[in-house]
Chain A
Amino acid sequence: MTDNVRFRLPWIVAMLTVGVGLIVFRLFSIQFSPNVPYFNDEFRQITERRKEFEPPRGRIYDRRGELLATNDTLYEVNASPVFVTNPEAAAEVLAEKLNRSRKELAALLTGKDSYILIQRPVPATIGGELIALQNGPDRADLNGIALEPIPHREYPGGRLGSQILGFVGYDGRGYYGVEEFYNDVLAGHPVVGVERSVPFDAALNPDPDKGADLELTIDRDIQNLVEETLQSGLQSSGATTGTIVVMDPKTGEILGMASWPTYDPNNFVNEPEANRVNPALSAQFEPGSIFKVLTMAAALESGTVTPQTTYVDSGVVEVGGAVIHNWNGGAWGVQDMTGLLQHSLNVGAATIARMMGPTIFYNYLTAFGVGQVTNVDLASEAAGRLKRPGDPDWYESDLGTNSFGQGVAVTPLQILSAISAVANGGEMMQPHVLLSVNDSGVVHRTEPTVLGRPISAQTARTLTEMLTVSLEREASGALVPGYLIAGKTGTAQIPIPGGYDSKQTIASFVGWGPVDDPRFIVLVKLDRPTTAPWGSVVAAPVFSQLAQRLVVLMQLPPDNVRHALLPTPTPAP
């Protein structure tokens, strides 16, 4: 070793020692300095990000497991022009994929902004193609272009059942229908977690409590049939709007429910807002003669009349100062109660209402749920309106007009629910659309609930028979070959300021069958028909058309076949 080396070596060692010492000192001073919290905060700000982990929204199925609402992804295409390396190439690609002007896009991409929105939303297929290009050999062309996935609710059936389903807005909340009513169940519970970019600290993302799947009572095929039949009915009658509801009277399960006009929930932004409301439970109307079913039920149950009770129909009756005429202004002579229903006589309905008196009459209407919400599990239900004695706007004349469905406001679902008590042996079932909830594999089923028992089984049976006979005698257009059907037509005047519209009506029909084992009850309501004003002419045939296909979809054999195939019931002792 030379002297030179001997001389330098200690200095080098000393300098290295001092250097290392300084580094170690600095490390210790940072590690134990009072600024440690600041350094920790800086570290976290750079490497950690608080993030809300949104659970996927629960899906909605029909009663046969067909998907009615699911989730997919749309994209937002945005850009940071400062990072765009080839604006012309990027503009060309985006113009082709997004069907936009290349010039306009090139101008956008040559700016100096750090963020510009190019398009939102972009369909998943286009988004997928752009992502593939970003990962392909020409990826440099799309430098500075970003695709952000946006959770999106997809309704595969389009308009099918849209007023039952509702839709999910861009804020992730459900609006209208099932989406709004069961929003909390469907949405699940988001979890706030920390996303760490340093792999050393990386952890599994928290698992949010995902939304439960719903199975509805709706049958997709029946819903489609209902919507098709409604369209056909509107066209044949010239009606502007209308509603059809199909329910199982034994359980209250709604099998199909449609109104026109409707909307496409996949494109709710561009649809009229008024169409999003479900008129079957939100729109109130004066029901007209279908209401006579309730009047007759009350009269029979209270013992005021029997099917054989007769009265003389002189074509006019005065109740509380109001003069009531029949639908044709004529007198029908002596009529029994079946004749009253068969010919839909207002004078007869007002007569028996007067015989009952307001207390009995209105108590029964209340028991039928008139003027009250049914509490169906859908958003935006209206209550209707039933004026009762004691109300400031109730007059004695209302007893007469209410008896044939005038001066009382109901929703289609409300009147259907009330009349379903007659179909179901006196028990009114809670209308509902939820069949079961599947919460992460745990299934909760909805049990049918009795909403009320306004009449006895005997009265229900008697009235059903009267309505069956009245349809058969009338050779009604509502009849369904091979099946015994009970039902009632309705033709209601439309209230306008100062009275009633003299030209336009609401034509309706409520019917159920097979009468010995009712499996469906249907309300058909056509607003302002132009071909004829009468429910018997325009609404009853629509019911028949629907029921003839409904029995096939529900696998209901004709009565004679069913009675031949099924064991003969043992008569009660």
Chain B
Amino acid sequence: MNPYTQLTRAFKQAPWRAQTQAIAAAAVFFVVLAAVGGLYLATATRAATAGRDVQQLEVEKADLLLEIDQLQADVASARSVSRMEARARELGFVPAKNDQVEYIVVAGYPQPPPTPAATAAPVPNYDETLTSWLAGRLESVTGPAR
């Protein structure tokens, strides 16, 4: 019998062997149970923390959206025509009149296609009086006056 076999047999026949096995098995069971429980607890805690973060972020998002809306309304109010006009007048500006505006052609600037200009007075001035009209009518009936 070789020494390894002797050692193994002696170990198996040791009187404390059965008790130790039971304790070890129980210990392993509890360790596994504790590990699973711990993992579950850790996961649940993290999920709850994440959930709480989500809730807080949703509240924060809602507050920020309200704030953005409010700020946009404030900006729009500050840019309203009445305020801008008052501010411009304070700074010494006045509304431009048409004859004060100078127009220039900017090379390459897109322009609307030119349209043909209409003539201002296509219809001849009508200066015929009632008398001359009657005379004309009579003439057309009786022939030109001699």
Q: Is B126 an interface residue (CB 8 A)?
A: yes
Q: Is A376 an interface residue (CB 8 A)?
A: no
* Closest Cβ neighbor of B85 among chain A residues: A224
Q: Is B60 an interface residue (CB 8 A)?
A: no
Query: Could you tell me the distance between the alpha carbons of A315 and B101 in the complex, rounded to whole angstroms?
Result: 47
Q: Is A88 an interface residue (CB 8 A)?
A: no
A566 with B123: CB separation less than 8 A: no
Contacts of A555 in B (CB 8 A): 103
A154 with B114: CB separation less than 8 A: no
Q: Is B87 an interface residue (CB 8 A)?
A: no
Contacts of B1 in A (CB 8 A): none
Q: How far does the Cβ of A384 sit from chain B's closest Cβ, in whole Å?
A: 31
Q: How far does the Cβ of A404 sit from chain B's closest Cβ, in whole Å?
A: 20
Query: Could you tell me the distance between the alpha carbons of A334 and B129 in the complex, rounded to whole angstroms?
Result: 7
A334 with B114: CB separation less than 8 A: no
A160 with B130: CB separation less than 8 A: no
B121 with A558: CB separation less than 8 A: no
Per the 8 Å Cβ criterion, residues 448-495 of A in contact with B are 461-462, 464-466, 468-469, 472-473, 481-482, 484
Query: Assuming A67-B76, A516-B116, is B122 touching A334 (CB within 8 A)?
Result: no
* Closest Cβ neighbor of A518 among chain B residues: B115
Q: Is A530 an interface residue (CB 8 A)?
A: no
* Closest Cβ neighbor of A464 among chain B residues: B118
Contacts of A49 in B (CB 8 A): none
Contacts of A221 in B (CB 8 A): 81
A205 with B73: CB separation less than 8 A: no
Q: Is A70 an interface residue (CB 8 A)?
A: yes
B123 with A70: CB separation less than 8 A: no
B121 with A516: CB separation less than 8 A: no
A548 with B98: CB separation less than 8 A: yes
Provide the main secondary structure of the chain A interface.
Answer: mixed
A72 with B65: CB separation less than 8 A: no
B103 with A201: CB separation less than 8 A: no
B118 with A461: CB separation less than 8 A: yes
B73 with A198: CB separation less than 8 A: no
Q: Is B19 an interface residue (CB 8 A)?
A: no
Q: Is A537 an interface residue (CB 8 A)?
A: no
Query: Assuming A307-B123, A468-B120, is B114 touching A568 (CB within 8 A)?
Result: yes
Query: Assuming A336-B126, A548-B97, is B80 touching A158 (CB within 8 A)?
Result: yes
Contacts of A388 in B (CB 8 A): none
Q: How far does the Cβ of A210 sit from chain B's closest Cβ, in whole Å?
A: 11
Contacts of A569 in B (CB 8 A): 114-117
B129 with A563: CB separation less than 8 A: no
* Closest Cβ neighbor of B49 among chain A residues: A199
Instruction: Choose from B47, B54, B79, B112 the contact partner of A156 (Cβ within 8 Å).
Output: B79
Q: Is B15 an interface residue (CB 8 A)?
A: no
Query: Could you tell me the distance between the alpha carbons of A56 and B103 in the complex, rounded to whole angstroms?
Result: 44
Query: Could you tell me the distance between the alpha carbons of A567 and B111 in the complex, rounded to whole angstroms?
Result: 10
Residue interface bits B50-86, CB-to-A below 8 A is 1, else 0: 1110110010000001100110110111011110010
B130 with A73: CB separation less than 8 A: no
* Closest Cβ neighbor of A339 among chain B residues: B126
Per the 8 Å Cβ criterion, residues 541-573 of A in contact with B are 548-549, 551-552, 555, 557-559, 561-563, 565-569, 571-572
Contacts of B52 in A (CB 8 A): 199, 202
Q: Is A220 an interface residue (CB 8 A)?
A: yes
Q: Is B48 an interface residue (CB 8 A)?
A: yes
Residue interface bits A301-343, CB-to-B below 8 A is 1, else 0: 0000001101010000000000000000000011110110000
Query: Could you tell me the distance between the alpha carbons of A202 and B58 in the complex, rounded to whole angstroms?
Result: 10
A333 with B129: CB separation less than 8 A: yes
Q: Is B6 an interface residue (CB 8 A)?
A: no
Q: How far does the Cβ of A567 sit from chain B's closest Cβ, in whole Å?
A: 6
A70 with B47: CB separation less than 8 A: no
7 A-B contact pairs sorted by A residue (CB < 8 Å): A72-B72, A154-B77, A204-B58, A312-B130, A336-B123, A338-B123, A472-B121
Give the top 6 A-B pairs by smallest Cβ distance, nearest first: A202-B51, A199-B51, A156-B76, A67-B76, A333-B130, A199-B52
Interface of A toward B, CB cutoff 8 Å: 56, 59, 66-67, 70-73, 124, 149, 154, 156-158, 160, 198-205, 220-221, 224, 307-308, 310, 312, 333-336, 338-339, 461-462, 464-466, 468-469, 472-473, 481-482, 484, 515-517, 548-549, 551-552, 555, 557-559, 561-563, 565-569, 571-572
